[in-house]
């Protein structure tokens, strides 16, 4: 086989695999819409197909999002069920949001357990140092 046909052969194989993945995506989506109530099997299948499409590398329009588009599956729906499935197997990748900073919260935390007499003393120290 000449070296000129090798890239074309690899591209044909990648296209064939992408077509197979699209067919499986369509089948899983149809089952989800008609049979399944909780969607976890659909999420599991999407999870597996996403891993399979990433293992191939990204070719033009064959990334996972492109495959979803070809299968007619909304990206938001797919990732909703993938995230549900990941959570069910303990692979939750959600990033916790940081708590909002609050001066009031900080003040309450710092002053927790401080007596009224101590508050008067703190206020006089702050006034003396020119902070108030």
- Clarify whether residues 54 and 117 are in a common domain: no
Q: Are residues 52 and 103 in the same domain?
A: no
In a domain, 93, yes or no: no
pLDDT in tens, 46-60: 999 888 887 666 566
CA atoms within 13 A on the CB side of 46: 29
pTM, 2 dp: 0.49
Residue 102 has pLDDT above 80, yes or no: no
Structure tokens at 31: 């089952």
> Are 66 and 112 part of one and the same domain?
no
Give the range of the structural domain holding residue 61, as residue numbers without chain letter.
Answer: 5-88
Q: Is residue 69 part of a domain?
A: yes
User: Tell me, what's the pLDDT at 74?
Assistant: 92
Over the stretch 71-100, which tens digit does the pLDDT of each residue have?
899 999 999 999 889 988 888 766 667 777
């Amino acid at each position: 086989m000449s070296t000129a046909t090798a890239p074309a052969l690899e591209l044909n194989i990648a296209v064939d695999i992408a077509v197979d993945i699209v067919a499986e995506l369509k089948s899983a989506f149809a089952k989800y819409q008609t049979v399944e109530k909780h969607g976890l099997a659909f999420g599991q299948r999407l999870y597996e197909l996403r891993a399979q499409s990433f293992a191939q590398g990204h070719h033009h329009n064959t990334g996972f999002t492109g495959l979803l588009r070809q299968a007619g599956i909304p990206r938001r729906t797919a990732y909703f069920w993938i995230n549900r499935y990941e959570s069910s197997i303990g692979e939750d990748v959600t990033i916790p949001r940081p708590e909002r900073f609050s001066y009031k919260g900080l003040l309450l935390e710092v002053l927790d357990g401080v007596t009224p007499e101590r508050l008067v003393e703190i206020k006089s120290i702050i006034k003396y140092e020119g902070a108030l």
